[in-house]
Homo-oligomer: A and B are copies of this chain.
Amino acid sequence: MSKTADQQQAAAAGQKVTVQDDFWGRYIRLVQDTVIPYQYEALHDRVPEAEPSHAIANFEIAAGRREGEFKGWVFQDSDVAKWLEAVGYSLSIKRDPELERQADEMIDLVGEAQYEDGYLNTYFTLKEPGKRWTNLMDCHELYCAGHFIEAAVAYYEATGKDKLLGIVCRFVDHIETVFGPEEGKLKGYDGHQEIELALVKLYRLTGEERYLKLSSFFIDQRGQEPNFLVQEWEQRGRVTHWTGTATDSIDPGYNQAHIPVREQSVALGHSVRAVYMYTAMADLALLTGDAGLREACERLWKNTTEKQMYITGGIGSTHHGEAFTFDYDLPNDTVYAETCASIGLIFFAKRMLELVPDAKYADVMERALYNNVIGSMAQDGKHYFYVNPLEVWPQACSCNPGKHHVKSERQGWFGCACCPPNVARLLTSLNQYIYTVHGDTLHTNLYIGSQLNVTLGGTEVALVQESQYPWKGEVTLKVSPAEAAEFGIALRIPSWSRGMEITVNGGLVSDSVSEEQGYAVIRRLWSAGDVIRVSMPMEAYRVYAHPNLRADAQKTAIQRGPLVYCLESADNSEPLSSISLNEAGTLTETYDESLLGGAVVVEGTGFRVAQGGWTGGLYSREKAPLEAVKVTAVPYYLWGNRGSGEMKVWIPE
């Protein structure tokens, strides 16, 4: 494999980024102070109000420390791994000896549950010994391995401790004896992609090419004929893990294994699996220079974000298989938009930004982050949405079975607890998503207050970003090269912004600025103390959807900066469906510091069916009179924090 200049650059850039931001600081502290400790208790089944996880218990039993049987999902181990990964990132931000002790103990436990030959999985240790690698389609063995690899890399990078790294490397050694192109090895791959991107992280840390090769093997093998998942299913008597009985057919498209990945153009199947795979594909495209992979990534990105993405950055239109459906099918009330899928979309976006400096990837990253992802977590850090709807009628969630998957209030730790630890690991690693480097140019993708140390064109550069995002569009970047040097600073022009202005040291910089793929790129000789000021007018505006997106036809959504807004019963009288926005009305904005930690509230004028104006029965020839009303919208990410009620993002206009 030959590396391109870009790849070397990316590898060499060695960014060190620390988040210092009011808005995100609060979230990160919430994760550190509340979420990680709460999840630690939950993993130990010590949260009375939550369904027992049994994840640690499984390891204790597998390690021989206690008696008992396996409980939980087949992928229960991954919750432990994701917690360890989040702890790694958290310790990178702030050392915490007690937390580190908890993690070290957990790593000891994991190590005790590992087989001599390197194999590690409590389900197959306790519940189906002897059945290793017989149901890759359903059983998440490599998926769990992947999460432990990610955890090991994060924990090593934070602490320098290599015990978990040793555990996963031995596990990968074992996996290499089972899977590969060589005669007698399985030509398979996991039903749930994850190890592919994890192996890339392991390669980046260790420089061991064989990890990259194994990742490529899994990616390349996927969807080849004869189809591994079909063969495997036939070999085990067509039995599915989920019911223990035979099934008539399987759909490899659900696992994105219906055709080779390089031939895929349409996002389909389970949405988390899809974006985890696309992430690994983009990683491999960057590291191997594989044009076919890169083109597939671009096609899949385009389809996902231009045809199948909610305005909140949610993906996955149906709970049946937690899956994509088809182009422009984005129902607001039967939606899935799983939290993990949006997190995976952010992973994918970040890899695309490393591959191609195009602001469209950062636009989507921002959309998913500020809306679907943080909207999934309650302000207490202990309650989560798994499904993130854009329209909710609470009674329908309980009384219409087609909406039972949608909740109007965030739930405690789930039986299937994938989302909460995924939120934790994303927020604690947010520093990884702000900047990318291409050549001697630094790309600012997110306007998040932060300190950066990076080498650009051979010069060490310190950069401090100050931002009042998402409430105000004023951003300051102080650039401090070790010595005066020429390099580029690329500032993303958000797709939602109009009239963004940039000054350097107080002066407009039109001469040295060019617009390149959605960035304002300033190339000049920088000296210590140079200050860039970015001003993005942040007024509320209306958004419309493509006419083919039937669910949003004749409706508008309100956005302000990156934030999508919604109506809630807490501010508007039910039924919300009676409300329409005045097309010509203005939107006014007020910062309400008492609202859930402080937020800008947007008010507009509109109409609603006059209270008592309807005199008919269920149907009538008489239209009810309308009355003028004030329409109050709050940021989507705050919805559902003031009791159960109706909510909607798209409003008739």
Q: Which residues of A contact B (CB under 8 A)?
A: 305-307, 309, 311, 317-321, 323, 325-326, 329, 331, 334, 393, 395-396, 399-402, 496, 498, 541-550, 553-554, 556-557, 575, 577-578, 580, 609, 614, 616-624, 652
Contacts and interface: CB of A to CB of B under 8 A. Distances in A.
A624 B547 contact: yes
Nearest to A401: B320
Most B Cβ at <10 Å: residue of A393, A550, A614, A624 = A550
Contact of A577 (B395, B401, B402, B553): B553
B318 A402 contact: yes
B402 A617 contact: no
A173 B402 CA distance: 43
A609 B578 CA distance: 23
A323 B404 CA distance: 15
Contact of A578 (B319, B541, B547): B547
B395 A496 contact: no
Nearest to A549: B618
Given A326-B395, A329-B396, A541-B621, A401 B546 contact: no
A306 B619 CA distance: 8
Given A395-B326, A550-B393, A550-B575, A306 B617 contact: yes
Given A395-B326, A400-B326, A400-B329, A545 B318 contact: no
Nearest to A396: B329
Contacts of A325: 396, 399-401
Nearest to A576: B550
B618 A321 contact: no
12 contacts: A323-B401, A325-B399, A326-B396, A326-B400, A329-B395, A331-B402, A544-B622, A544-B623, A546-B619, A549-B618, A554-B578, A557-B619
A423 to B, nearest CB: 24
A548 B556 CA distance: 21
Given A318-B400, A400-B326, A553-B575, A621 B547 contact: no
Contacts of A496: 621
Contacts of A556: 623
Nearest to A323: B401
Given A306-B617, A320-B401, A321-B401, 17 more contacts: A307-B618, A318-B401, A318-B402, A320-B402, A329-B395, A498-B621, A541-B621, A542-B621, A543-B619, A544-B620, A545-B618, A546-B616, A547-B575, A547-B624, A550-B575, A550-B577, A554-B577
A306 B550 contact: no
A627 to B, nearest CB: 12
Contacts of A401: 318, 320-321, 323, 325
Given A318-B400, A395-B329, A400-B329, A619 B575 contact: no
Contacts of A309: 618
A320 B334 CA distance: 14
Contacts of A624: 544, 547
Contact of A547 (B320, B395, B548, B614): B614
Nearest to A557: B619
A577 B396 CA distance: 23
A602 B307 CA distance: 35
B545 A619 contact: yes
A90 to B, nearest CB: 34
A181 to B, nearest CB: 35
Nearest to A607: B554
Nearest to A324: B399
Nearest to A367: B619
Contacts of A542: 621, 623
A650 to B, nearest CB: 11
Nearest to A580: B554
A334 B319 CA distance: 14
A311 B620 CA distance: 10
The 9 A-B residue pairs with the shortest CB-CB distance, nearest first, are A320-B401, A553-B577, A326-B399, A550-B577, A325-B400, A547-B609, A554-B652, A544-B623, A547-B578
